[in-house]
A and B are shown apart, each in its own frame.
Chain A
């Protein structure tokens, strides 16, 4: 029982710690948001590079997303951004704002 629950929660806990390091007074909610965005983008684009930075300066709801994926190949930048924002549409509605940088490599 104990082993099972540790195995289940340890990866999550490690993730939380990694995110906590960059955001001092981190509300749990924003951590989740960051992670949800991370998961959704990973699933959708299989990115070769993905960085989600909290650049809100405190409120925890402004993200700078840098993403590189083969999925953007041959697309104008507007389309690339729209693919990203459509994927995280629900999350965007709850945050203050975001910056996006897309690339192929």
Chain B
């Protein structure tokens, strides 16, 4: 669905003049609207390579594992496999101003890629963030950093 819409709109020739800004940005307003729908299609949206049960890239695997560790409920999580949708794969990079996959959105806001997700997870920041975003229930007490020295 998204695929077809993106294909028809992404490669339209650029119109000079009033639309020059958009043309220079490559992503048409229509494609942008499609992706906007995708990022807000669920409280938590992950653009990844592969699927949660079959990630096809180590970074996407790490990202989905972190979300599972945080016990993000399945009904609040939606994933898009960019490998089956080349237009989405390039479109989302432009949309987020982020050159790599995976990409995480929470409540329609871009959170970051794998590096940021991992570092937020390790510092305990992710848990707090997901709690405050009403994704996971609040636990009493201070957030405890996940990593610890032995």
Contact = CB atoms under 8 A, between A and B. Distances in A.
A97 B100 contact: yes
B109 to A, nearest CB: 10
Given A78-B110, A78-B111, A98 B116 contact: no
Contacts of B97: 82, 85-86
A85 B99 contact: yes
Secondary structure at chain B's binding surface: helix, strand, loop or mixed? mixed
Given A77-B119, A78-B116, A81-B116, A98 B111 contact: no
Which bucket holds chain B's interface residue count? 10 to 19
B131 interface: no
A82 B97 CA distance: 7
Nearest to A99: B115
Contacts, number: 29
B80 to A, nearest CB: 18
Contacts of B22: none
Nearest to A82: B97
A56 to B, nearest CB: 13
B112 interface: yes
Nearest to A95: B99
Contacts of A92: 99
A96 to B, nearest CB: 10
B134 to A, nearest CB: 21
A101 B59 CA distance: 15
Contacts of A85: 97-99
Interface of B: 59, 97-100, 110-116, 119
28 contacts: A77-B112, A77-B116, A77-B119, A78-B110, A78-B111, A78-B112, A78-B116, A81-B98, A81-B112, A81-B113, A81-B115, A81-B116, A82-B97, A82-B98, A85-B97, A85-B98, A85-B99, A86-B97, A89-B99, A92-B99, A93-B99, A97-B59, A97-B100, A98-B99, A98-B100, A99-B115, A100-B115, A101-B115
Given A81-B116, A85-B98, 8 more contacts: A81-B98, A81-B113, A85-B97, A85-B99, A86-B97, A97-B100, A98-B100, A99-B114
